Structure 1
Amino acid sequence: MSRIPVRPALAGVAAVLLSALTTLSGPVPVARAAPGCASPLAPARPVTATPWPQYRYAPERLAPLTDGSGVTVAVVDSGVDPRHPQLAGRVLAGTDLLDPNGDGRRDCVGHGTGVASIIAATPRDGVAFRGLAPGVRILPVRVSEQQVVDGRESGRTVDAADFARAVRWAVDRDADVLNLSVVLYADDPAVRAAVAHALARDVVVVAAAGNLHGSGDPRPYPAAYDGVLGVGAISADGSRADFSQTGTYVDLVAPGSDVVVCAPGQGHHRAEGTSYAAPFVAATAALLRGYRPELTAAEVTRRLVSTADPAPDGGYGAGVLNPYRAVTESPATRLDRARPAAGIGDDRVDPAVLAQRARRAAARDRAFVVAGVGVTVVAAAGALALLAPRGSRRRWRPADPA
């Protein structure tokens, strides 16, 4: 059996969870039944200031079009706590591959709850934070409770074989979107086959690109598999977060630094990591699946990439996720991992303006062609007027057709 450990793609949850994603050594501990969390998290307070991703994405603009209702997003992670007021009624009974008889609705480290909240946290009076797709159903699949405290990694996690089982379980329970904010740094055949199963079943698969840019960008899976949307992280100023990995496996980027997430039970934390960039993309995929149910998973994937805002080369993939464009613009024709070099920020050119410029350029080109043809005709007529009399005097005539 494979013993490749599964780790959350996490750079931080508040001040206590700061994963460096170092490789674990030794056997994975055997999972045992646990009625509760050994070390409950400290209470957290609700946020009062609007998080910066909401200024960028303005979810209230999307709400009249779609909130993801009818779509199921599987969160394969550390579990999801349904007791948080903003997640109440949104979390289905899932499964627990760490402890027997669990249903995925227990989160001892807060990672999965935070990821799920970026997707599905419902608006509440007096709370600035909200999810991007608050109408979706969250299907929790618990595979890890790993964290780093005071620079030391601890906590249980499943191996690659059980991670593959988790993916298949979610797909076979009719998940429409998979959010995989966990990373393996080895290509495991069972995981590869499970992802292929998900894609064959028309599931959108979104995965974190990993946080080891400072350690040489080891190839992350499942993000590196074909058909999977690999997601890197940006900061509030639009630049790539310094921990966010770079490589051909990055398809696009989304907020992943100093983002706000729900804490288990109540309140909120600030967090960072590609773990938290991935759910922005998963939520947008859910919005699309709700708004345009006729689109296949592959078409949703292409559309998310093709409508990304332009960004420089160097770890941004095709650009920065733009949920509004993804929902409202026409679908793209293909997934292209080419990296357009352009500026990043909020002063981007409106797509309608770009289309108008293209039409004007085409009209200008046509005008040049017509003018060129006109000049040629006039010149030919003038030459004929000069040569015809001389040809007549010399008994010149056009050559007969062969």
Structure 2
Amino acid sequence: MSLSIARPVLAGLSAALLTGAVLPPAAAHAALREAPACATPLAPVRPVDATPWPQQRYDPTRLTPLTTGAGVTVAVVDSGVDRVHPQLAGRVRAGTDLLDPGGDGGRDCAGHGTGVASIIAATPRSGIAFHGLAPGARILPVRVSEQQVVQGRESGRTVSADEFARAIRWAVDHDADVVNLSVVLYADDPQVRSAVRYALDRDVVLVAAAGNLHDSGNPRPFPAAYDGVLGVGAIGVDGARATFSQIGAYVDLVAPGSDVLVAAPRQGHQRVEGTSYAVPFVAATAALLRSYRPELTAAQVVQRIVATADPAPGAGQGGGYGAGVLNPYRAVTETGGGATAPRSVAALADDRADPVLLARQERRATAQDRALAVGAVIGTVAVAVVLLALVLPRGARRRWRPADPA
């Protein structure tokens, strides 16, 4: 089945919704005329203190001595980001609202953007195990949608494709280093394509959802299908591709996207699924890399993330896994970014060599090499100074003069 939808749709699902349904164009057009207010207030949820499975797999605290993403800005082009949540307070910059002009992106009627942002940059809190993979990064919210699931159906306002393209350009022009696009268009729009090129030409990493319409024929998702954009599919706790996650050449790698714990607007946490929530794990990894290795270009960051993915069943063979499963530790700590011995796709971080220790050893070796090089230069200069001190006085006594150029 082929769809042609020229409006961005959020690529997240509720735990009870696995259809990946999108808002029909006619309904979306009518929704654009609705009053700028949250049609359905989000129900309050409680904090969750248990450690979510993606965090068991990636354990962000093991990367903290190396990098937290500090100094890097990740734009979240989504439903807005609620900066009031205790784990996002102080991490969210003033952004923009293209759905309701005049806003700064801090209102989230769907909870989608807040959840995405929390996977990236939620800060640790006492009594709460969950926190983001790059808690030192800053979030730049760009509000383009308020879609949410109401009585089992996805509905809500969203911007046009042209406005979505403008959102990408706005993020780039406001110093985003990484742009998280947990949204999907099922039509190749020239304005969006141009905005993607605009971002890539300015050395920005773009990460996008592969979409949730596997059962509807895997229609080609954009921006994920554009060259230079990292397309991300979803896996579950067993390491297998989530049933809704689309299959195609646009899937560059996969990350956790089923039964994922995220922050909810205002306070508390909720469990969600969809390729939407796989994207921020990859965007956070890009932020970690851009902070730890600032000399790398966006293209090099993308290459390292793909090259260091863990093997997965059918990886590289059209099985919906792309190059494999995201591995932030290898992306940050491996110097070559090449292949290593295969690991089980469901292996947890505790089964792997300590990346902190490996990185420290590498940095110490580099420091020793630099010290030797500096010592050699200093020694050479010292010898030269001594020789000059001996030779120049003698030359003066013998009345040496420069040769006459004539």
Q: Which residue of 2 aligns with 1:9?
A: 11
Q: Which residue of 1 aligns with 2:374?
A: none
**How much does 1:4 deviate?**
1.2
Q: What do residues 14-53 of structure 1 show as CA deviations (whole Å, max 9, x unaligned)? A: 55x7662335132624746967523221111111210000
C-alpha distance in structure 1 between counterparts of 2:302 and 2:191, whole Å? 23
Q: Indicate if the aligned counterparts of 1:182 and 1:275 stay in contact, CA closer than 8 A.
A: yes
**How much does 1:304 deviate?**
0.1
Q: Which residue of 2 aligns with 1:159?
A: 160
C-alpha distance in structure 2 between counterparts of 1:350 and 1:249, whole Å? 29
Pick closer, same or farther for the CA change 1:35–1:143 going to 2, 3 Å: closer
Q: Indicate if the aligned counterparts of 1:120 and 1:132 stay in contact, CA closer than 8 A.
A: yes
* 1:1-400 equivalences in 2 (<5 Å): 4-12=6-14, 20-22=20-22, 24-26=24-26, 28-29=29-30, 31=32, 36-313=37-314, 314-332=319-337, 344-346=345-347
Q: Indicate if the aligned counterparts of 2:36 and 2:100 stay in contact, CA closer than 8 A.
A: no
Q: Indicate if the aligned counterparts of 2:259 and 2:272 stay in contact, CA closer than 8 A.
A: yes
Aligned partner of 2:290: which letter? R
**How much does 1:147 deviate?**
2.0
**How much does 1:332 deviate?**
3.8
C-alpha distance in structure 2 between counterparts of 1:251 and 1:123, whole Å? 30
Report the TM-score, using the length of structure 1 for normalisation. Answer: 0.81
Q: What do residues 195-230 of structure 1 show as CA deviations (whole Å, max 9, x unaligned)? A: 000000000000010001111110000000000000
Pick closer, same or farther for the CA change 1:269–1:303 going to 2, 3 Å: same
Q: Indicate if the aligned counterparts of 2:85 and 2:266 stay in contact, CA closer than 8 A.
A: yes
Deviates further, 21-30 or 215-224:
21-30
Q: Indicate if the aligned counterparts of 2:311 and 2:323 stay in contact, CA closer than 8 A.
A: yes
C-alpha distance in structure 2 between counterparts of 1:133 and 1:45, whole Å? 23
C-alpha distance in structure 1 between counterparts of 2:35 and 2:136, whole Å? 31
Q: What do residues 299-358 of structure 1 show as CA deviations (whole Å, max 9, x unaligned)? A: 00000000000112111100000001100002448xx9xxx9985221899699xxxxxx
Q: Secondary structure at the match of 1:325?
A: helix
C-alpha distance in structure 2 between counterparts of 1:244 and 1:35, whole Å? 32
Number of residues of Structure 1 aligned to a counterpart in Structure 2 = 344
C-alpha distance in structure 2 between counterparts of 1:172 and 1:34, whole Å? 29
Gaps of 5+ in 2: 355-406
Q: Secondary structure at the match of 2:346?
A: coil
Pick closer, same or farther for the CA change 1:50–1:3 going to 2, 3 Å: closer
Q: Indicate if the aligned counterparts of 1:3 and 1:160 stay in contact, CA closer than 8 A.
A: no
Aligned partner of 1:6: which letter? P
Q: Indicate if the aligned counterparts of 1:98 and 1:158 stay in contact, CA closer than 8 A.
A: yes
CA RMSD of aligned residues (A): 2.3
Pick closer, same or farther for the CA change 1:304–1:82 going to 2, 3 Å: same
C-alpha distance in structure 2 between counterparts of 1:200 and 1:136, whole Å? 22
Report the TM-score, using the length of structure 2 for normalisation. Answer: 0.80
Q: Indicate if the aligned counterparts of 2:161 and 2:192 stay in contact, CA closer than 8 A.
A: yes
Q: Secondary structure at the match of 1:5?
A: strand
Q: Indicate if the aligned counterparts of 1:31 and 1:99 stay in contact, CA closer than 8 A.
A: no
The higher radius of gyration belongs to 1
Aligned partner of 1:220: which letter? P
